[in-house]
Amino acid sequence: MEVTLRVFRYSERIEPHYDVYPLSFSGGKTVLEGLFDVLEKQDGSLAFRYSCRSAVCGSCAMFINGSFRLACQTQIKDLKSSVISINPLPHMKIVKDLVVDMKPFFKKLDMILPYLIPKENPPEKERLQLPRNRKRVDNYIDCILCGACYSSCTVAATDEYYLGPAALTKAWRFMADSRDGGTAQRLAIVADEHGALRCHTLFNCVEACPKQINCTQAIQNMKKKSVARILGFI
């Protein structure tokens, strides 16, 4: 198979532009493997992030042929295109080429108290949690913090204080956990014009998520709780 990788290039001293690299291969090849081919054989100056190459570490979220994808999880042949256009995550500051500045993303994650706040002192052994309660965090705990949702979110792009889908989903992951007692503390943070209430319910995050996490549902759940809190019901 013959394709062309059209890769976004930028660094402090180089104006943004696209470089084009031919790539021929047979069988399966992921976009990440294609980028490695370019780096190793054609252009050693290319910058991108990688680690696990198995869709679980969250390093390689990019904007590929118009969609948010993990480069490692995307088979080139599945894109059904002779030109593969590879861009860094939109709406984020570019460090170099496909590498973006994730600091604002992680800073917002820190704001929602991203750790379990136990209801009470834990017992000597494990806390008991019934399977049906454990099930309530399913899906939400699959987040790999790749940033695709945050990058796809129109609201995050226009309100620099908006917490964004990943941080909010993390907040909900704890609120939904029967072992957690931090709901009031977290609601005080997310029931805010830059928190859950800012979400426009566009579902961009759901569409962008490579792990099929329903971020919008998580945010909707918190909107309900936020309203209840504002009205003094909880």
Partner 1 sequence: MRAAVEAAQYADTAILTLVHPVRSHTVAAQGGINAALANADPSDSTERHAFDTVKGSDYLADQDAVEIMAGDAPLRIYELEHWGVPFSRMEDGRIAQRPFGGAGFPRTCYAADKTGHYLLHTLYEESRRLDVKTYQEYMVVSLIIDRNKCKGVIALHIPTGELEIFSSCAVIFATGGAGRIYGRSTNAVISTGFTIGIAYHAGVPLKDMEFVQFHPTSLYGGDNILITEGARGEGGYLVNSRGERFMSKYAPTAMELAPRDIVSRSIQTEINEGRGFDNAYMHLDIRHLGREKILERLPGIRDICIHFAGIDPIDTPIPIQPGQHYTMGGIDTDHDGLSPLEGFYATGECGCISVHGANRLGGNSLLDCVVFGKRAGEHAAKYASNLEKPDEGIGRVALEKAKKEMMSLLESHGTENPSALRRELQETMIEKVGIFRTREQMEEALAKVKELKRRFRDIDLSYTGKPYNLDLAHAWEVGGVLDVAEVIVRGALMREESRGSHSRRDFTQRDDEKWLKHTVATATPDGPQFTYKDVVITKWQPEARRY
Binding site for partner 1 (CB under 8 A): 11-12, 27-28, 30, 33, 39-41, 43-59, 73, 75, 95-97, 99, 102, 106, 109-110, 114-116, 118, 122, 124-131, 134, 137, 141-145, 174, 177, 179-180
Residues 6+ apart with CB under 8 A from 33: 53
Q: CA-CA distance, 126 to 56, in Å (whole number)?
A: 27
Pick between residue 59 and residue 216 the one whose CB is nearest to partner 1: 59
Contact present, 4 and 23 (Cβ < 8 Å): yes
| The one-letter amino acid at 10 | Y
- Report, in Å, the least distance between residue 158 CB and partner 1: 26
Pick between residue 140 and residue 162 the one whose CB is nearest to partner 1: 140
Pick between residue 25 and residue 50 the one whose CB is nearest to partner 1: 50
- Report, in Å, the least distance between residue 169 CB and partner 1: 13
- Report, in Å, the least distance between residue 56 CB and partner 1: 5
Pick between residue 45 and residue 154 the one whose CB is nearest to partner 1: 45
| The one-letter amino acid at 40 | E
The enclosing H or E element of 165 equals helix 165-175
Pick between residue 19 and residue 159 the one whose CB is nearest to partner 1: 19
Report how far apart, in Å, the C-alpha atoms of 228 and of each of 75, 90, 113, 116, 187 are: 45, 35, 21, 23, 10
- Report, in Å, the least distance between residue 114 CB and partner 1: 5
What are the structure tokens assigned to 148, written together? 């695709």
- Report, in Å, the least distance between residue 63 CB and partner 1: 18
Contact present, 66 and 116 (Cβ < 8 Å): no
Q: CA-CA distance, 193 to 55, in Å (whole number)?
A: 33
Pick between residue 6 and residue 53 the one whose CB is nearest to partner 1: 53
- Report, in Å, the least distance between residue 79 CB and partner 1: 13
Closest C-alpha among 207, 99, 111, 204 to residue 161: 111
Closest C-alpha among 168, 147, 150, 151 to residue 219: 168
